[in-house]
Amino acid sequence: MSAPVLSVRDLTVTLNLPGAAPRMLLDKVSLELGKGEVLGLVGESGSGKSLFCRTLVRLLPSRNMRITDGRILLGDEDLARASEAQMLDVRGGRIGMIFQNPTSHLDPVMTIGDQLTEGIRFHQGLDARAARKAAVAILHQIGFPEPERQFDAYPHEFSGGMRQRAMIGVALSCNPEILIADEPTTALDVTIQAQILQLLMDIRRERDLSIILITHDLGIVAQTCDCIAVMREGRLVEQGRKRDLLRAPAHPYTKALIGSHPSMPPPSTGQGAVAPKAIGTPADKPLLEVDDVNVRFAGTGSLFGGRSGAVHAVAGVSLKILPGETVGIVGESGSGKSTLARAILGLTPIASGNVVFDGTSLREDRAAFLGRLRRETAMVFQDPYNALNPRLSIGDMLTEVLKVQGRTPAADIPARVGELLDLVDLGREFAARRPRSMSGGQCQRAGIARALAVNPRLIIADESTAALDVTIQAQILDLFRVLKRKMNLTLLFIAHDLAIVRSLCDRVVVMHRGHIVEQGASAQVFEHPAEPYTQALIRAIPDIDPDKPLLPQAAREVA
């Protein structure tokens, strides 16, 4: 290992609340970061990853938290004991940070260029003209196609991937020695994720930059990092060189993380892919039919009152879903996945085409169609916290659904609430809990229980595991499998994580710019994709294989 640029020794952070015993949040964490090295810091939510990195720059999220022991050596300087004036030079100037959600961390009323030049002028002392020139050079380096023009654009004018690039630019604008990237790709599509990670690796090589990459995805770590440190409950449970740790993990928790990763399976050795066990036959009556559905949104307005033209969010989509099937819909943001789901449920009006649910047609009898959907279908949403009413306990939420449905006698509702909690493996004591006192995985289980309360025949899960850690993702996927078997559910699973879809779904539908570009049995599509777009998506999936290229040529061409 190269000489450490950062050395952390026995770092301990304690939470002190009035009237409560001190609680240790970081427990004697020690690690080193070499010059030009990429360190992957992995673990589930609540493991202390982000708190550790915020402690490095002395930005603890609460006044009740403080460093009670340890040293943070940046060169010869101990940041644990540095003054606030000294830390102002360290933050941004020597250690830069990239956050998970660029929308929340970029100033919406400042142009991208102003946000870049602000740090350049403060830390480098350049005048306005020189700072602009430096900022434009950074925009060019991080992949903005028209840096001179885009310098004056605002964050809302860019896609999520471009906003993340802008945040990387802000972090790099002060020429830091160390870059901390806190889950920088969690909310991004697989190809955009690969582009952002490749950008970080390119910048690391060009600037000899040291990077701490916080993530819960070991696939990302395997393809980008030199070393791995695994955290759990505020402790560093294992660390080592990437290949050694992935090949022979010593700690049971590390083994569980690796075992939970939904990596793509190796190609079959036979003549072709083996299709999953058939749920039905083509002669079976479909539960859901989508026939040439088009959804259009009005274009944006202009200064003189005109409109730029309709946006075709869904264009001529047709598909059939048989009873008991699990069908995955995949594609990047903007491909039309969620819009199609909302159109199926009657939440978004369709411009043309038709949807038929178990013989009831939207076009022929809209009222009857919507009535059946509300009685026999349910949806599970992406964000488990925002999808639940924070003012209601889980029991009250389920009771509300059961009362509205009107199929459970009032006297039987408490027992039914208990049954629903049992179905999703939540203890019955959770009936009295509110969402704020629950983890993300527990909230998502409560959301699934709410969906089951209507006794649905079809569940639409829209990115229902995207916000969860890898081990919690695996638990939720196992829960879906159990529920399908117990209740003969049909599942429409929307995701941009293709590895998850490959492991769960019988069939896969690939969408791109509102069109279905490919569909078929999951094994067949993933092992023998016919379309270049599908091939690019599959090749961009992070895998626990350190020898797999991060961003293959096919993915670069489509991106």
Per-residue pLDDT at 265? 56
Please report, rounded to a whole number, the percentage of residues in the chain having pLDDT higher than 90: 52
Per-residue pLDDT at 2? 58
134 vs 284, higher pLDDT: 134
Instruction: Answer whether residue 382 is part of any domain.
Output: yes
Q: E strands of 204-287, at which residues? A: 210-215, 227-232, 235-241
Per-residue pLDDT at 187? 64
Mean pLDDT of 196-208: 89
Please report, rounded to a whole number, the percentage of residues in the chain having pLDDT higher than 70: 91
Instruction: Answer whether residue 210 is part of any domain.
Output: no
Instruction: Answer whether residue 248 is part of any domain.
Output: no
Instruction: Answer whether residue 415 is part of any domain.
Output: yes
Residue 162 pLDDT exceeds 50: yes
Those residues whose C-beta lies under 8 Å from the C-beta of residue 485, and which sit 6 or more positions away, are none
Per-residue pLDDT at 123? 81
Per-residue pLDDT at 130? 93
Instruction: Answer whether residue 315 is part of any domain.
Output: yes
Task: For residue 379, give its domain range.
Answer: 288-297+311-540+548-558
* CB neighbour burial string for 212-233, b if at least 16 within 10 angstroms, e if fewer: bbbbbbbbbbbbbbbbbbbbbe
Mean pLDDT of 382-399: 89
pLDDT tens string 295-343: 988 754 444 454 455 678 899 999 999 999 999 999 887 788 988 998 9
Residue 378 pLDDT exceeds 70: yes
Give SS3 for 317.
strand
Instruction: Answer whether residue 43 is part of any domain.
Output: no
554 vs 540, higher pLDDT: 540
- Tell me the sheet residues that pair with 4: 34
Per-residue pLDDT at 438? 84
- Tell me the sheet residues that pair with 11: 29
Per-residue pLDDT at 144? 87
Domain count for the chain, please give it: 1
Per-residue pLDDT at 98? 87
Per-residue pLDDT at 303? 46
Q: Considering only 501-510, 512-521, 522-531, 540-549, which range has the smallest mean pLDDT?
A: 540-549
Per-residue pLDDT at 491? 95
Per-residue pLDDT at 468? 77
Average pLDDT, the chain: 86
Residue 372 burial (CB < 10 Å; 0-12/13-18/19+)? middle
Residue 282 burial (CB < 10 Å; 0-12/13-18/19+)? exposed
Instruction: Answer whether residue 355 is part of any domain.
Output: yes
Q: What's this model's pTM, rounded to 2 decimal places?
A: 0.74
Question: If phi over 0 gives left and psi between -120 and 50 gives alpha, with beta otherwise, what is residue 425?
Answer: left
Per-residue pLDDT at 275? 41
pLDDT tens string 427-462: 899 999 998 888 778 889 999 999 999 999 999 998
Instruction: Answer whether residue 306 is part of any domain.
Output: no
pLDDT band, residue 556 (cuts 50/70/90)? very low
Those residues whose C-beta lies under 8 Å from the C-beta of residue 234, and which sit 6 or more positions away, are 13, 24, 25, 26, 27, 29, 47, 48, 51
Q: What CATH number corresponds to the domain at position 399? A: 3.40.50.300
pLDDT band, residue 541 (cuts 50/70/90)? confident
Please count the other Cβ atoms lying within 10 Å of the Cβ belonging to residue 55: 26
pLDDT tens string 249-287: 999 999 988 887 766 555 554 443 334 444 445 557 899
Please count the other Cβ atoms lying within 10 Å of the Cβ belonging to residue 554: 16
Residue 530 pLDDT exceeds 70: yes
Per-residue pLDDT at 513? 87
Q: Considering only 63-77, 182-196, 369-383, which range has the smallest mean pLDDT?
A: 182-196
